[in-house]
Chains A and B, each alone.
Chain A
Amino acid sequence: MITFDNVNKRYASGQDALVRISLEIPRGDMVFLTGHSGAGKSTLLRLLTAIERPTKGTILVAGQNLNRLRNSQVPYYRRNLGIVFQNHQLLFDRSVFDNIALPLSVAGCNKRELGRRVRAALDKVGLLHKEKQNPIMLSGGEQQRVGIARAVVNKPAILVADEPTGNLDPQLSQEIMRLFADFNAVGVTVLVASHDLELIARMRRRVLTLQAGQLIYDGVPSREANPV
């Protein structure tokens, strides 16, 4: 589903953010991406979401070569991704419902279908009763769940999350992770960047560890032996 082949990313400053990264994430996998800040997690996610382009190497997502993606095609590519942000990037000038509906209205979904899908997504994250509220009224965990609902509302094949539990307490983090696992269980390929190693270990999923722009670990850790 996601293939990185010898990907390099060098910024204009001359700093190498990613060095010869090659990895393969099959369809339906749930993978964690970890590493210290500055290790290249965010860069990898930025390449995957076509915010940036690799300096060298090829990235294939669902068979589509991102290097050949024209700027005008980027929006259409992103509609097949669900993206969850650490700071959830919710818009406080509109209701929870309208926040979640954004990817659908952007893609030109009709009103009835839109309402149905937004409520389905809200139901999945357990916030059906809060659709009319302004997200600013919600707790941090609830806001993140709204962010997740927005990411999955157009049923993307791939769900990408950047530090989704960054500001949450362990119990809420656990809930959020369980939510991702649920989506994964119905066939969504999930990639979560996180530095919460304990939480990751508990999930017993494949882990990719980056250090100084290089992939230094790729495997399923046991609960006892924490990598890095």
Chain B
Amino acid sequence: MKQTQSRAQRQASPGADKRTRSTGAVAARTGFGDLWRSWLGHHREVALESLRRFFATPMASTMTALVIAIALALPAALQLGLANFQRAVAGWDGQPQVSVFLHKDARDAAVESFAAKLRSDPAIAEVTYISPEEALAEFEQASGLGDVLAGLDANPLPAVLLLRPRDTQDDDKLQILVANLQQQALTDSVVLDLAWVQRLTQLTEVGQRLSAGLAVLLALGVILVVVNTIRLHIESRREEILVVKLVGGTNAFVRRPFLYSGLCYGFCGGILAWLLLLGGVLLLSGPIAGLSSSYGSNYALAGPGFSYFIGLTAGAALLGLSGAWLAATRHIRAIEPT
């Protein structure tokens, strides 16, 4: 603003300077300190004014903010769901594990020597022996089906050797190891747990990308909603814009209140989106806590915390500002006095 002014003055001929001195143009009378304070003051006024306008039409404003909120709550909810899912499965080790189920009638001594042989194998880092009794106890605890199992006359579970391969990165080596184990006399079956871990990670990845894609699309939607709303605001204040332009208001001056309005819509939409998430979590947390306690776990849903609040409000405010900027830049330039 100041730059343009000084440029304009430089370009003016000496006659203009004389006029400036004699009658005092606005630019000459208003110091830079004044301009800066007035600029800040104008921002404050405009911000308050746009808040006032927002609440002057509560129904319309809330509906716009709610549209923004719903559009933002969807991807945020997916993200939050994924985060909770990852927390739920965090107990599962990402390390691939090989479970070797032994024949039920294998003798203890043979199992003992088989385990020793495996321990000496350089491809295997760790061998854990789980006896049928231990397996039963663990199953009882994890499944919560103790009463059912107590009704059985014999332990149906086989003994298991849990192996942790040394080289977990190389798929081929793991396959060879599994094939070798399968050929052992004591082996009933071999399960490579890796597949499940991989599937889980891939599933999570799919969810992540889905939520990211959804977020991009819906963010675009939010911008369009704000563009349209601000366009209507601009149309309804056409008269005022014309007068302001005629008395020397710059495009930036005219644009400012609309930018604050966009910011306001975005911010309120962000807060509502966070509240929607919070409501959803509160609604689900009861049943989920019941579900997990029935499995003997004390897992509980994590709500949208402070980071979600900051992310949603700041992100939404930014989207609102961008939408308002797009609308204002396009439409305010088009409104010129005729």
Co-complex (A, B):
yes
Spell out A's residues near B (CB within 8 Å): 1, 27, 46, 49, 51, 62-64, 68, 72-73, 75-80, 83, 89, 91, 93, 102-103, 105-111, 113, 150, 154-155, 157, 187-188
Q: Are A63 and B37 in contact (CB under 8 A)?
A: no
Can you name 16 extra interface pairs (CB under 8 A) apart from A51-B337, A79-B27, A111-B41? Answer: A46-B338, A49-B337, A63-B17, A64-B16, A73-B8, A75-B250, A76-B4, A76-B27, A89-B239, A102-B243, A105-B42, A108-B30, A109-B34, A155-B24, A157-B23, A157-B25
Q: Are A103 and B248 in contact (CB under 8 A)?
A: yes
Contact A62 to B15, CB < 8 A, known contacts A51-B336, A108-B34: yes
Q: Are B247 and A150 in contact (CB under 8 A)?
A: yes
Please measure, in the bound complex, the distance between the C-alpha atom of A120 and the C-alpha atom of B146, giving whole angstroms: 92
Question: Contacts of A77 on B, CB cut-off 8 Å?
Answer: 8, 248
Tell me if B7 is interfacial: C-beta within 8 Å of chain A: yes
Question: Contacts of B247 on A, CB cut-off 8 Å?
Answer: 78-79, 83, 102-103, 106, 150
Main secondary structure, interface of B, reads helix
Q: Are A110 and B34 in contact (CB under 8 A)?
A: yes
Q: Are B24 and A63 in contact (CB under 8 A)?
A: no
Question: Contacts of B243 on A, CB cut-off 8 Å?
Answer: 89, 91, 102
Tell me if B283 is interfacial: C-beta within 8 Å of chain A: no
Contact A91 to B42, CB < 8 A, known contacts A63-B14, A63-B15, A150-B247: no
Q: Which of A64, A77, A113 has the most CB of B within 10 A?
A: A64
- Could you tell me the distance in whole angstroms from the C-beta of B35 to the nearest C-beta in chain A? 5
From B17, B242, B248, contact of A76 by CB (8 A): B248
Spell out B's residues near A (CB within 8 Å): 1, 4-5, 7-8, 11-19, 22-27, 30, 34-35, 37-39, 41-42, 239-240, 242-251, 253, 336-338
Q: Which of B14, B19, B39, B251 has the most CB of A within 10 A?
A: B19
- Could you tell me the distance in whole angstroms from the C-beta of B10 to the nearest C-beta in chain A? 11
Q: Are A64 and B337 in contact (CB under 8 A)?
A: no
How many contacting A-B pairs (Cβ < 8 A)? 112
Q: Are B26 and A107 in contact (CB under 8 A)?
A: yes
- Could you tell me the distance in whole angstroms from the C-beta of B21 to the nearest C-beta in chain A? 11
Question: Contacts of B15 on A, CB cut-off 8 Å?
Answer: 62-63
Please measure, in the bound complex, the distance between the C-alpha atom of A73 and the C-alpha atom of B16, giving whole angstroms: 15
- Could you tell me the distance in whole angstroms from the C-beta of B88 to the nearest C-beta in chain A? 56
Please measure, in the bound complex, the distance between the C-alpha atom of A107 and the C-alpha atom of B38, giving whole angstroms: 9
- Could you tell me the distance in whole angstroms from the C-beta of A4 to the nearest C-beta in chain B? 16
Please measure, in the bound complex, the distance between the C-alpha atom of A153 and the C-alpha atom of B249, giving whole angstroms: 15
- Could you tell me the distance in whole angstroms from the C-beta of B31 to the nearest C-beta in chain A? 9
Please measure, in the bound complex, the distance between the C-alpha atom of A144 and the C-alpha atom of B249, giving whole angstroms: 21
User: B17's closest neighbor in chain A, by CB?
Assistant: A63
User: A107's closest neighbor in chain B, by CB?
Assistant: B26
From B4, B17, B37, B338, contact of A51 by CB (8 A): B338
Question: Contacts of A51 on B, CB cut-off 8 Å?
Answer: 336-338
Q: Which of A91, A107, A188 has the most CB of B within 10 A?
A: A107
User: B5's closest neighbor in chain A, by CB?
Assistant: A76
Contact A102 to B242, CB < 8 A, known contacts A51-B336, A63-B15, A76-B27: no
User: A52's closest neighbor in chain B, by CB?
Assistant: B338
- Could you tell me the distance in whole angstroms from the C-beta of B245 to the nearest C-beta in chain A? 7
Q: Are A107 and B42 in contact (CB under 8 A)?
A: no
Question: Contacts of A27 on B, CB cut-off 8 Å?
Answer: 19
Contact A108 to B23, CB < 8 A, known contacts A62-B15, A64-B16, A89-B242: no
Please measure, in the bound complex, the distance between the C-alpha atom of A89 and the C-alpha atom of B19, giving whole angstroms: 28
Question: Contacts of B244 on A, CB cut-off 8 Å?
Answer: 102, 106
